[in-house]
Amino acid sequence: MAAAETTTGDRLWIARRTLRLLSCIRFDEVLVLQGTPMLGALFSLGSITTNKCLDILVFAIASVCLVAHVFVLNDWSGAMTDLRDPNRAEGVFTAKGVSGRAVGILCISLLAVSLGLLAPYGMTPMCLALALAALSALYSAPPFAMKGVPIASSVLHIAGGLIHFLLGYSLFRPLNWPSVWTGSFFALMFAAGHLTHEARDCDSDNLNGIQTNAVRFGAARNFVTGAILFTAADVLLFVLAANGVVPRVLMLVAAVYPLHLRWMIETWNAGPGFQTITRLQQRYRTLYAVMGVAMALATRI
């Protein structure tokens, strides 16, 4: 009886430790970024078969693990500065009683699982996934820490957004110029979103001595640059749709852009700070989630 109770206690201890470790993954952010690769896969899908549906399921798991790896690496690398940020301190893994070693193992394990799941689909998805992991290391890892290098950090985000789309596209078709142009829309969106994010966190990054674009050039300029890139992304999507590179129904982006523009102007007038930009992010993420559903449906027309 005592042995059985000990075994049950050990299992509960392991379960609690595992759940605590998994709580260090920013699943909300990870899931938000699944739209880009999944849309890439849908754009290259062609006819729907049972095998392709299974492939997409496996790919979705691999993509979640890959993006989770990116966020865990970022959080592991920036733990010390995040502890000094009142908006992030509670979410730092050390505040949850998790060691840096455990988070490091989790980070490596997530990448290994992702690569293992992608391996049967050939070299192209594997190389693209490794490229994303490399960009993540350049951005976050202490030897490089290019998140604190103005302009270079945005270049990494543009490259990452493009590769993320191409990763999904490569699942069913070889890469081509139309896929690169379509992926460029997501690249601009990703870079624009991160510039907006940097404007939101300008005060805390400045406090921690992180030379982001917003710290170097000012939160206001960063916010405006993000708005320009959002506009460029929507213009690009409209042009691609008008020329038949993507489904023509996506020209409807012209109908929703004014709403996003209005929100950006409202945020500017209220003063682009942590609270106002957070509200803007919630709004445009919802808007682009709806656009993502429209894109997914358009691939089936």
pLDDT, position 188: 97
Dihedral over Cα of 46, 48, 50, 53: its sign:
positive
Among residues 130, 164, 226, 176, the alpha carbon closest in space to that of 40 is found at 164
- The whole domain housing 158 covers 27-170
Q: Are residues 93 and 150 in the same domain?
A: yes
For residue 266, pLDDT over 90 is answered with: yes
Domain CATH for 138? 1.10.357.140
pTM of the predicted structure, to 2 decimals: 0.91
Mean pLDDT of 279-283: 94
Per the structure, the count of domains in the chain is: 2
- CB-CB contact of 211 with 150 (8 Å): yes
User: Which tokens in the block code for residue 24?
Assistant: 């260090």
- CB-CB contact of 167 with 40 (8 Å): yes
For residue 8, pLDDT over 80 is answered with: no
For residue 89, pLDDT over 80 is answered with: no
Q: Are residues 52 and 131 in the same domain?
A: yes
For residue 6, pLDDT over 60 is answered with: no
pLDDT per position as a tens digit, 186-201: 999 999 999 999 999 9
The answer to whether residue 205 sits within a structural domain is yes
**Cα 72 to Cα 24: distance, rounded to the nearest angstrom:** 7
Report percent pLDDT > 70 for the chain: 96
pLDDT per position as a tens digit, 40-50: 999 999 899 99
| pLDDT band per the 50, 70, 90 thresholds, residue 96 | confident
For residue 159, pLDDT over 70 is answered with: yes
